[in-house]
Amino acid sequence: MESQFYIKSDQIGVECQLCPHFCKIKNERVGKCNARLNSNGVLESVQWGVISSSSLDPIEKKPLYHFFPGKMIYSIGGFGCNLNCIFCQNFEISQYVPQNIDKRRIVSPAKVIQEAKIYPNNIGVAFTYNEPTISFEYMLETASLSKQVGLKNVMVSNGYINQTPLAELLNTIDAFNIDLKAFNDDFYRKITGGSIYPILKSLKSIRKSGKHLEVTFLVIPHLNDSIDEAKLMFEWLSGELGEQTVLHVSGYHPAYLLDNHSTQFNSLQELFHHAKEKLQYVYLGNTQNNEVGNNTFCPSCGNIVIKRNGFRISSIQFENSGNCINCGYGPIVINS
C-alpha cells in the first residue's frame, strides 16, 4: 500500500511526512519506524493490515474513563513505533517489526469491522497496543468503515504525528488517549528519540477539534518524577487544554532497556494531589491501590458519579446525557 504523506527527491530518494522525524529514505531502505519502505521511489506502508493482537477490552483499559464508561471496545494493534522509549511497557511488539510478513497476520479493514460487529456490548474499534500512527492508511480506512456502520473509533497514541495527517484522522477518530511522557524536551530527545513540541501541538489540535481526549502520564522513578516539572505539566494541561482535561497518572514497571524500580504508590499519590489542584479529573493507573484516583466525582456537588473497582464499574450515577444524576452538572462523560 502506497503511503499517503511523502515527497520524492532526486537527491534523497523520498522524504516521509507522516511524523515529525521526516525520515529521508534511500531506495530499498526503511524509515526509523521500520514500517515505511522506499521501493523504487514509492514509499510503501509495509505493515498494512499486519495485526499482532486483537481483543475485546473494557474501554477503561485504554485508558478512557469518560467515554462510554462500562462498555467494551474491540482493540487491535500491529508492530512497531516511531519512538524508541527505553522504558517501553509494550516493547515486544513496539520495538520489533517482522521483516518477513506472515500473510495470515493480515486482516482487512472489512474483516476488522465484521469482527467488531459480532460483540453485543462493543462500541467500536480501538487502534492501540503499538503506535497506530505508523499504520496511518490502514487505520484511516478501517476507521472510515467503522464510522459508516455507526461504530466509534479510538486511537491510543504517543501523539508524534504531523498536523496534516492528524487533521485527516480527526474526521474519523472519536476519542484519543495521548501519552505525555514528561514535560521536558531533553527527556523526549534522550529517552524516546523524539521531541515534546509536536506532541503538545497534537494535544492542542485534538482539544480544538472537540474530539474526546484523555492524557496518560507514565511516572518513571528518577527520570520524569520531579514534582516541579510535573506541576508545570499540570499547569500546561489546565491552561492550554482546560481544567476538565482527564489525566491518568500511571505507574511504571521495569521493562525493555530500563530497570529502575517500579513507581512507588506514595509518589503517584503525591503527583495525584498536585494534579488535582489544576485538573478536575485525575486518576491513578497501574497500581494495586484502589482507594485513591479510581472513582469519578462530580466537580460541582462532589457526588461519586462512577465507582470503579479496577477496570470494573460497580456504580453509575449519571444520566443518559452524561450529566451528574444528583445536581445535573455536565456532561461529565460522553455516553451517546
By CB under 6 A, name the binding residues for ligand SF4. Answer: 16, 18-19, 21-23, 31-33, 35-36, 82, 134
Rounded to 5°, angle at Cα 185 from 184 and 190: 105
Residue number of the CB atom closest to ligand SF4? 31
Nearer to ligand SF4, 19 or 241 (CB): 19
Buried b / exposed e over 249-266, threshold 16 CB at 10 Å, is: bbbbeeebebeeeebebe
User: How near is the Cβ of 47 to ligand SF4 at its closest, in Å?
Assistant: 10
Under 8 Å between Cβ of 137 and 48: yes
User: How near is the Cβ of 36 to ligand SF4 at its closest, in Å?
Assistant: 4
User: How near is the Cβ of 160 to ligand SF4 at its closest, in Å?
Assistant: 8
Torsion angle (degrees, nearest 10) of CA 316, 322, 328, 330: 120
CA-based Rg of the chain, rounded to a whole angstrom?
20
User: How near is the Cβ of 32 to ligand SF4 at its closest, in Å?
Assistant: 4
Nearer to ligand SF4, 189 or 208 (CB): 189
Under 8 Å between Cβ of 170 and 144: no
- What residues are paired with 99 via a beta bridge? none
Nearer to ligand SF4, 35 or 178 (CB): 35
User: How near is the Cβ of 234 to ligand SF4 at its closest, in Å?
Assistant: 29
Under 8 Å between Cβ of 81 and 130: yes
User: How near is the Cβ of 158 to ligand SF4 at its closest, in Å?
Assistant: 11
User: How near is the Cβ of 165 to ligand SF4 at its closest, in Å?
Assistant: 9
Nearer to ligand SF4, 20 or 299 (CB): 20
Whether the CA torsion 57, 58, 63, 69 is positive or negative: it is positive
Nearer to ligand SF4, 130 or 295 (CB): 130
Cell of 57: 477490552
Under 8 Å between Cβ of 51 and 105: yes
Under 8 Å between Cβ of 120 and 70: no
- DSSP structure string for 168-217: HHTTT--EEEEE---S-HHHIIIIISS-HHHHHHHHHHHHHHT-EEEEEE
Under 8 Å between Cβ of 22 and 3: no
Nearer to ligand SF4, 16 or 51 (CB): 16
User: How near is the Cβ of 12 to ligand SF4 at its closest, in Å?
Assistant: 13
Query: How many other C-beta atoms are found inside a 10 Å radius of the C-beta of residue 79?
Result: 26
Give the type of residue at 97: V
Nearer to ligand SF4, 50 or 220 (CB): 50
Residue with cell 481526549: 213
Nearer to ligand SF4, 12 or 149 (CB): 12
